[in-house]
Structure 1
């Protein structure tokens, strides 16, 4: 991030930047509505640009994410409701979003609703061996992949062979 980037509300004395972080914490991901866009890790910076205008930088979970336009709109509306009418929301795909950016609170919320959060161990190669994924309902490690595509493009569908319940697993990337 360029100089002046702000990675969190506690890192600045700028009241408008802090207010923006507070407003953005109320914007929920449209595909996983228990997570805010901050908890999901797609808010990369809130800062002043070279002209002094407030800028919010978002990185979508992947470049073709169909929810990106809705997230940008919801972020703009939240900022406007907070009185930050001069704020500008931009998106960037570099560096690409990674599941490592999901906050610990976000990971806990995913687990609470039965979505297995990805391990926080850096990006894995697409050809990495499959990992054992425990069932979020009964805890059994005896699970299998039903489909690499789950309820959204960023999740895979698994099934527990012990309790027979299906569940989503957040894909790493």
Structure 2
């Protein structure tokens, strides 16, 4: 639908597994980076306690390299497990796979599916974040309205939506690219 003078934008479609993976990876990025840093620190401390004396610069560089490799493997396993969990979560959630229509107006957001309607006021969103191909409107730390940009018919609709978001949620709660 083409945006009108009342600043209303509507999109309809389903959330694909690819969309859900993008959402989950955005959510889990800090966890993965934090686990890598903690693993790195723990491996360095473990190695330092196992060797005798104070290591010289070359030994310390080898310790850092070994700790980096071990942390990389640990983090890779964590990412594989998170992806497996995300796949299971998506497959088990029947509601996320259903066709949904979302209307954005100055009054708020209305999300409709065959059997349910959810109304959100702009103040309900604690954060709005833009990712590659997605806009995420967070209603809590771990729950968001996922808005794939591919469901819009033009870039103009996306820009109108971003304008609505910035005007109604506020710039302090938005992490989106919008020309001033």
TM-score, L = length of structure 2: 0.25
TM-score, L = length of structure 1: 0.26
Question: Which structure's CA Rg is the greater one?
Answer: 2
Structure with the bigger percentage of helix: 2
Q: Which has the higher relative contact order, 1 or 2, with Cα contacts under 8 A spaced 6 or more apart?
A: 2
